[in-house]
Amino acid sequence: MGYDLKLRVWRGDKSGGELGDYTVEVSEGEVVLDAIHRLQATQAGDLAVRWNCKAGKCGSCSAEINGRPRLLCMTRLSDFDPAETITVTPMRAFPVIRDLVTDVSFNYEKAEQVPAFAPPPRDPDGKRRMMQVDVERGQEFRKCIECFLCQDTCHVVRDHDENKKSFAGPRFFLRYAELDMHPLDTHDRRALAQEAAGVGMCNITKCCTEVCPEGIHITDNAIIPLKERVADRKYDPLVWLGNKIGIR
Ligand code: SF4
Ligand code: F3S
Ligand code: FES
């Protein structure tokens, strides 16, 4: 059964913009991205929106729906009252390019700062070995689709652009944690996680975990263990002594 959906969509670019009101015909079972596409096709041909898979897997269609960071393609219209106006705005933590499209290059800059996986030489038979439990621990982190909704929602950068220089954000704490827990990685990332990535600025509000469309337990399984590892290093008596006499 179809009905008329009231949509309010942010239109504009980096110089400014405003919310535009539209009425779009939608059908039962559709998602917010369907309504946006119909709006584009029938009334606003120049509306900019980024998307690719329409299956919750590419991480492109991130935006804010009624102020909450969400994937447009995975948010069902049936989650809302048909009489309700649905407001769609671009991710607030990143600069707007146009309409719903933001410039997420902050995230790529932070990704570049994470040193690549550095395995030791192979065993004499040419293989590398690790325990199954370690393989499984990393699997959860590898589900990340880089939608950056966690980055968008984290209060450390959401309203504080000035923190972006010293804070990598939850998506990259996930990456640091994954690599630091990897038994075959030879790089000690704890100093970097603390100093360049600023894991200490996270005060465990868990908002990142709440919005992750992949259901990754970012705070409990990555950030808290990473903080513990960083603290172990910081309070290790040998590291402390090394810092005092300037050899580490
Ligand atoms: Fe998106 Fe979750 Fe990855 Fe963050 S951790 S970028 S919310 S999939
Ligand atoms: Fe931000 Fe997540 Fe920490 S929302 S403050 S990184 S728990
Ligand atoms: Fe790919 Fe939404 S279009 S995640």
Name the residue with the closest Cα to ligand 3, atom 4: 56
Residues of the chain with pLDDT > 70: what percent?
94
12-43: pLDDT as tens digits: 999 999 999 999 999 989 999 999 999 999 99
180-191: pLDDT as tens digits: 999 999 998 888
Q: Give residue 51 CA to ligand 3 midpoint distance, Å.
A: 5
Say if residue 240's pLDDT is above 80: no
Whole-number pLDDT of residue 117: 95
Query: What one-character-per-residue DSSP string does the chain give?
Result: -EEEEEEEEEEEETTEEEEEEEEEEEETT-BHHHHHHHHHHHT-TT-----S-SSS-S---EEEETTEEEEGGG-BGGGS-TTSEEEEE--TTS-EEETTEE--HHHHHHHHTSPPP---PPPTTS-----HHHHHHHHHHTT-----HHHHH-HHHHS-GGGGGG---HHHHHHHHHHHH-TT-----HHHHHHTS-GGG-----HHHHH-TT---IIIIIIHHHHHHHHHHHT-HHHHHHHHHT--
Whole-number pLDDT of residue 248: 46
Q: Give residue 118 CA to ligand 1 midpoint distance, Å.
A: 24
Split at pLDDT 50, 70, 90, the class of 232 is confident
Ligand 1 in contact with 47 (CB < 6 A)?
no
- In this prediction the pTM is 0.92
Ligand 2 in contact with 90 (CB < 6 A)?
no
